[in-house]
Structure 1
Amino acid sequence: MTSALPYGSWPTPITSELVVAAAVRLDDVRPDGRGGVVWGEGRAAEGGRIQLVRRDADGTVTDLLGDGANARTAVHEYGGGAWWLHDGVVFHVDWADQRLRRLEDGVTTVLTPEPAVPRGDRYADGDVAPDGSWLVCVRERHPRAGAPATEVVNEVVRLDARTPGEPEVLVSGPDFVAAPRLSPDGTRLAWVSWDHPSMPWDDTVLTVRDLASGAETVVAGGPGESVGEPAWQPDGGLHFLSDRTGWWNLYRWDGAEVSPVVVLDAEIGLPAWQLGGSRHATLPDGRVVFARSSQGFDVLAVRAPDGTVTDLDTGFTAIRAVRADGDGVLCVAGSPTAEPGVHRVGVGVDGTVTTLRSPRDLGLDPATIAVPEPMTFSSTDGAGTPRDAHALFYAPVGDGPTGELPPLLVVIHGGPTGAATPVLNLGLQYWTSRGFGVVDVDYGGSAGYGRAYREQLEGAWGVVDVADCLAAARALADAGRVDRQRLAIRGGSAGGFTTLAALARDDTPFSAGADHFGVADLEALAADTHKFESRYLDGLVGPYPEAREVYVERSPITHVERFATPLIVLQGEEDAIVPPNQSEMIVEALRSRGVPVAYLLFPGEQHGFRKAENIRRALDAELAFYARIFGFALPADEDIAPVPLSTA
């Protein structure tokens, strides 16, 4: 496609309306034990609530939760593992009160008591005893409203699975617990734990307890080893993930010794930002199906009992929630040309893929979809030593006027221990279809490239990530693929911090920036964030207050005199992870210096926007901002409101 219109102003069917139309976020999928399948759908058109959907064996699809119900937990603030199943019975946490419920044949029973503090007891990541009479799960207890992170307690609790009652504490003491899993005979409990200042991708411990005697065995983990995703096997063995070789691979504990199951230079595991993740499953015949990531792309593979590993030709490049289902697996998966859907992959001779919940029918010509190109480029560390970094580059599909190059959006993922995801994302295609190039940067510290790459960000947040984002933009400009004079940078959360840090430089190459609920003051964040991340900065920056000078030096708010680049800031009013004061302080500081800045505060939104109307407004506002800065016209047929820029 060639257009006489300037890059950025191309007409496109991918409007903000299409981005949210019937949009869902698929959070998990599980077999229900009765021949059906249940998955979770985060529906933007319904305020972002998570509805549970059952698909019966005959193909009948039913919403399970009533109007307003929202299967979402606030444990760790990021949630995950808000629902689970046993023999057709659904157990789920509701967002409104965080209490645990049992849903059977349309009847809901609230199992956990009303806490003294509203939403003070939060539940997640459960498992049910073989006979269905009791269950275990994580409980996060907030003793009073606004309690500091030091007062929040995380425990594994046991409770009756049928009758309301007070939970019994089984595991307490560690700062964090996750993945409580019961053995097939219900006699042993496995769980993962870790303590401040570690994060779950740093140092964790896998423990097994005999529930009758109380005897405990540390199976794996400790300093320098991240373990997770324990899964009991029918013979009483325990599978789990460990990065002891530098990659999250699969191991087995037989009750005495640990032995490797799958060892590759690839990541089976993912950073445990949310609870309840699953990237491996064992079939009845002993084959193990797992997702592995290499150079940013996922592949589904199967390990035979003889140790042979075979990749399955599914076409999926982003895979989550791998669950055994008969002679196959269920998963949530997508590709560069297809949004995530719910699929069943038969692990037979042909590896047939059956789609249970299709992605949206967008009506788009596949030829108009920008697909990612893996990109490795040269960057440096904090001392100036050369090193390689990685990214996914999306070129606009088409050509603009002769002699013109496209503007570039440098996209920074959150975390910062996260990763770019090579799956169709209309929020990204919104830009490429208008003539923007987009580079999604997997800077040093990102997941998917092994532990050594993740550890490149230790003590170097605000240094290595910034260097890699600048290097990616300059590499593409040097290659003649983007316009050096129209480089923009955008990111959310940790990516918002990197955005601000990249702009707070005298040598910044960027002429526009978009900060989505980002961090402006590291010192304030260390004092005012939730328990899960309250010591995260110890590893990324340094222990506080001992390293206070580094916190101050790395904070964008400290260097507002270096800002000259126009900025748009978007923030959720109810964000407990990066509170609104972070956005407000940078906005006020820039306005006081006369730097053009736009600020949009979204009522009712937490960390990341879930409501359709807010997702639309955020996208369109950012486009209007770039149009004003880069000097191209907005499409007349989209009725996009301008964004006021203020300098005082």
Structure 2
Amino acid sequence: MTAKHTAPFGTWSSPINAQILTRQSVKLSRPLCLGKDTYWLESRPSEQGRSVIVKHSIGQMPEDVTPPQVSVRSKVNEYGGGDFCVSEAFIFYVDATDQQIYALDQHLNQIRQITHTPSSRYADLVYDPLRNRLIAIREDFPGAELESLHTLVSVDLATGQITTLAEGDSFYASPALSTDGNQLAWLSWNHPNMPWDYNQCWRAVFNQQGQLEQKKIVSPAQSSSFQPRWSSQQELFLVNDQSGWWNIYRLASNAADTTGAHYSANTLKPVLALEAEFATPQWVFGMSCYDFLNQNTLFATYTQQGQWRLASIDLTQPQPTLSHIDNGFCDISSISCAGNHSEQRAVLLAASSNQAQGVWQWHNQQWQCLKQSIVSPLESDTIACAQAISFATSHKDKAHGFYYPPTNPNYAAPAGEKPPLIVLSHGGPTGATETALNFKIQYWTSRGFAVLDVNYRGSTGYGTAYRNRLKGQWGIFDVDDVCAGAQYLVAQGLADAKRLIIKGSSAGGYTVLAALTFRDTFSAGTSLYGIGDLSALATDTHKFEARYLDSLVAPWPSGEPTYRERSPIHHVQKLTCPVIFFQGLKDKVVPPNQAEMMVAALRRQRIQTAYVSFANEGHGFREGQSIEDQLELELNFYGKIFNFPVQPTRADFQLIGEI
């Protein structure tokens, strides 16, 4: 056995460099089954974030099906999703450049533009073979000073003619076509709600002209629904949180007998009642947590206490039963099934504690990885495994998180030294953190940092009540929880009280700045496209989140004093520790002026501050160079703040002049 080197925490040499996250990795999304073929989307940092549709046929190697000049990405609601759908002969996709729909003929390898509406974007594409058309969500921009308009539309594939199917609500999502093509279900919601607050699930039938009639709301009032889907018997299923948990329901067989715009309250019947979540917040289109493996079986993923599980649900029993499927995964999403009783085939995205996310196929009860986002270069003894913790926080509540200890088989710290701790605050804020292998965490633990990934109150995965705890309390409860988590680990002897760092992006970046401003727990912070001025965000963001703060903070503009009270920019004199900011200059969700106002204010206070901007990045970094620079500059920043040596990097010179 090789003797360990003794070196201070934070200075250990690591096998993980920033290039592993870019030149050897891809971001995977939305696997789809069609017959014996599987399709998915790959976003490639090494190609400036270009997104490519990849096809895998059983017995063959995966191949790109979109040409090198094409990038596939929808920008509806800025976050996009639902970027493509497939038929036997065609792939229909949204082009990232002009946001129009195109058809790729798989036999002739020819591309044809379908829509010609430059002021529109499209998402959530669904193929309607009975009428040779697509059904989609359209976002229109009538003018620079006007709010965008959302509608549910059909697009004739022969003529490109666009027909409105539903309009009048603020947002639409998740169109689901019945297997016989005669009915449609979809979701809609209105400001100030977000889809995970309250929305409506609709059901309607098509008339002979292809328009929708007999539109009725299926879901109960004051509830959140997710992913409507039809069985082969034309029975409608969906996920709903009326019980306090996102569970799967089916529409009762006598529902068609009801009258009026709504079905009666008892028309939705639970498939299986569990204190578990079969859904996640609908930030993007095309999300899927279940599908029909065959006409009698659901293939579903759900989360309990932050851990994802996979199961099949037998629908033939009077009381459907759930059978767990062994897999070793701890993060599961994007389920798609072939829907053929003889095939028993499903694909999904999944990751484990020692394997990064991949596209996995379950075929005849056997698992096969079709594509990994990154092949791990780590031995198992180099991987820091997540340890679930719960800890006391304000108002006699408990919060949750995952602790990762410093882990490197070649190093040991000097006796008595405690490690620096990075506390991660996830985005959303209605998001959640998982325990799958994450190289952006292992990058730090392998260097001798401890990491705490917090599922603060407001996070998904712990029931509706826990998710709603943040309503009216953003900037208070989330801050209480990240501070309480750090203090808990200090009390346990697992972190150095003088080297506590907080890091977060987007909404998590706001928690970072609020914690540094209104508390004295942390010694340094990293904000990635974070929010410093809540009032500016309320008046200068995109439509999807334009009223999000009404529930998280207070109604705008009547609640303006509360916005001012909780905005770090107005209390910057209280922020006295170093901060580094990373910002994309094309960000329309959190505009660059948010970071720039904070940086200017901190520099007036003569606080050590670094500001790094990326000219071609938006909300979230996609280009390999940006991702590498961000990590390397962050490491250098901590080295300068805490006075420990770090290995010089190509990006080092950019930071020296910024502090």
**Take 2:507 and 2:375, find their aligned partners in 1: how far apart are those partners?**
32
Name which of 23, 46, 49 aligns with 2:25.
23
- TM-aligned CA deviation for residue 295 of structure 1: 1.0
Match of 1:102 in 2: 103
Shift of the 20–419 alpha-carbon distance from structure 1 to 2, 3 Å rule, reads same
Choose 398-407 or 8-17, whichever is displaced more.
398-407
Q: What is the SS of the residue equivalent to 1:138?
A: strand
Would you say the 8 A contact 1:596–1:646 is kept in 2? no
Provide the residue aligned with 1:366 in structure 2: 380
Deviation at 1:114? 3.5
CA distance in 1 between counterparts of 2:72 and 2:280 reads 23
Secondary structure in structure 2 of the residue aligned to 1:338: coil
- The answer to whether the 8 Å contact 2:406/2:448 transfers is yes
The residue aligned with 2:116 is: 113
Q: How does 1:316-465 map to 2 (within 5 A)?
A: 316-325=329-338, 326-346=343-363, 351-380=365-394, 385-398=395-408, 399-465=412-478
Taking a change above 3 Å as real, the CA distance of residues 548 and 74 of structure 1, as seen in their structure-2 partners, is same
What's the secondary structure of 2:603's corresponding residue? Answer: helix
Which residue number in structure 2 is paired with residue 292 of structure 1?
302
SS of the equivalent of 1:417 reads coil
The residue aligned with 1:259 is: 269
2:186 aligned residue (187, 191, 198) = 191
2:74–2:99 CA contact under 8 A, matched in 1: yes
Q: CA deviation at 1:132?
A: 6.5
> Is 1:621–1:642's contact at 8 Å kept on the other side of the alignment?
no
1:419-447 per-residue CA deviation (whole Å, 9 max, x = no partner) reads: 11211111111101100000011000001
Partner SS, residue 523 of structure 1: helix
* Counterpart selection for 1:278 from 276, 279, 288: 288
Q: What SS does structure 1 have at the residue aligned with 2:550?
A: helix
Deviation at 1:640, TM superposition (A): 5.3
Preserved CA contact (<8 Å) 1:72 1:95? yes
Pick one of 225, 238, 242 that aligns with 1:227: 225
Give the aligned residue type for 1:11.
S
RMSD: 1.5
CA contact (8 A) 1:32 1:88 kept: no
* Mapped pair 1:170 → 2:165: yes
In the alignment, residue 79 of structure 1 is paired with which amino acid?
G
Equivalent residues of 1:598, 1:643 under 8 A apart: no
Q: Please give the secondary structure, in 2, of the residue aligned with 1:537.
A: helix
Q: Distance in 2 between matches of 1:92 and 1:388?
A: 44
Distance apart, 1:328 and its partner CA: 2.7
Shift of 1:386: 1.1
Query: Is 1:641 matched up with 2:652?
Result: yes
Query: Does structure 2 retain, via aligned residues, the 8 Å contact 1:2–1:400?
Result: no
Alignment of 1:122-133 (within 5 A): 122-131=121-130, 133=132
Q: SS at the partner of 2:522?
A: coil
* Aligned partners of 1:26 and 1:42 also within 8 Å: yes
Contact 1:86 1:132 in 2 (8 A): no
Q: Work out the CA distance in 2 between the residues paired with 1:2 and 1:290.
A: 45
Q: Secondary structure at the match of 1:263?
A: coil
1:281 maps to a residue whose letter is: D
* Equivalence for 2:59: 58
Opposite residue 341 of structure 1, the aligned amino acid is G
Corresponding residue for residue 239 of structure 1: 237
CA distance in 1, matches of 2:268, 2:655: 61
- Matched to 2:134, the amino acid is L
Report the equivalent of 2:507.
494
Q: Could you tell me whether the CA contact under 8 Å between 1:330 and 1:345 is conserved in 2?
A: yes
* Residue-by-residue CA offset, 1:210-261 (whole Å, 9 max, x unaligned): 22171112111432x1001000111110110001111111001145132111
- List per-residue Cα deviations over 1:243-290 (Å, max 9, x = no partner): 111111100114513211122111110000001100001122411110
Choose which of 487, 503, 514 in structure 1 pairs with 2:516.
Answer: 503
User: How far 1:513 sits from its partner (Å)?
Assistant: 0.5
| Alpha carbons of structure 1 residues 447 and 47: separation in structure 2 relative to 1, 3 Å | same
For residues 198-220 of structure 1, give each alpha carbon's deviation from its aligned partner in whole angstroms, at most 9, with x where no partner exists: 00000010111122171112111
**2:232 partner letter:** P
Structure 2 CA distance for aligned equivalents of residues 366 and 508 of structure 1: 37
Aligned to 2:619: 607
Kindly provide the CA deviation profile for residues 400-419 of structure 1, in whole angstroms up to 9, marking residues without a partner as x: 11111110000010000001
Matched residue of 1:41: which SS?
strand
1:524 to 536, 546, 557: 536
Distance 2:116 2:251 in 1: 37
Q: Is contact 2:357-2:374 (8 Å) kept? A: no
Is the contact between residue 475 and residue 511 of structure 2 (CA under 8 Å) also seen in structure 1?
Answer: yes
Report the counterpart of residue 138 of structure 2 in structure 1: 139
2:586 pairs, out of 571, 574, 577, with 574
Q: Deviations over 1:86-143 (max 9, x none)?
A: 224211101100001111121111111142xxxx211010211243711211001111
Greater shift, 168-177 or 58-67, is seen at 58-67
Structure 1 counterpart of 2:98, which letter? D
State the distance in 1 between where 2:539 and 2:551 align. 15
Which TM-score applies when normalising by structure 2? Answer: 0.93
Q: Distance in 1 between matches of 2:59 and 2:507?
A: 45
Q: Cα–Cα, structure 1 residues 488 and 51, in superposed 2: closer, same or farther, change >3 Å?
A: same
Structure 1 unaligned regions, length at least 5: none
2:69 aligned counterpart, secondary structure: coil
CA shift, 1:363, in A, is 2.6
Q: Counterpart of 1:562?
A: 574
SS in 1 for 2:497: coil
Q: Where does residue 260 of structure 2 map in the other structure?
A: none
Contact 1:157/1:168 (8 A) holds in 2: yes
Q: Report the 3-state secondary structure (helix = DSSP H, G, I; strand = E; otherwise coil) of the residue aligned with 1:644.
A: helix
Aligned residue for 1:625, secondary structure, equals: helix
| Contact kept in structure 1, 2:28 and 2:373, CA below 8 Å | no
Deviations 1:335-378 (A, max 9, x none): 111111111124x6xx3211111343333111101111111000
Provide the C-alpha distance between the structure 1 equivalents of 2:199 and 2:307, rounded to a whole number of angstroms: 26
Residue 569 (structure 1) shift: 0.3
Q: How many residues get paired?
A: 629
Contact 2:301 2:332 in 1 (8 A): yes
Cα distance between partner residues in 1 of 2:558 and 2:498: 41
The corresponding residue for 1:202 is 197
Report the CA distance between 1:21 and its aligned residue: 2.2
Contact between 1:240 and 1:252, CA under 8 Å: does it hold in 2? yes
Gapped regions of structure 2 (runs ≥ 5): 256-266
1:639 shift after superposition: 5.0
User: In the alignment, what sits opposite 1:596?
Assistant: 608
TM-score between the two structures when normalised by the length of structure 1: 0.95
Distance 1:512 1:645 in 2: 17
Verify the 8 A CA contact 1:552 1:558 in the aligned structure 2. yes
Name the aligned partner's letter for residue 423 of structure 1: A
Partner of 2:7: 5
Alignment equivalent of 2:149, drawn from 138, 147, 153: 153
**How many Å separate the matches in 2 of 1:63 and 1:394?**
37
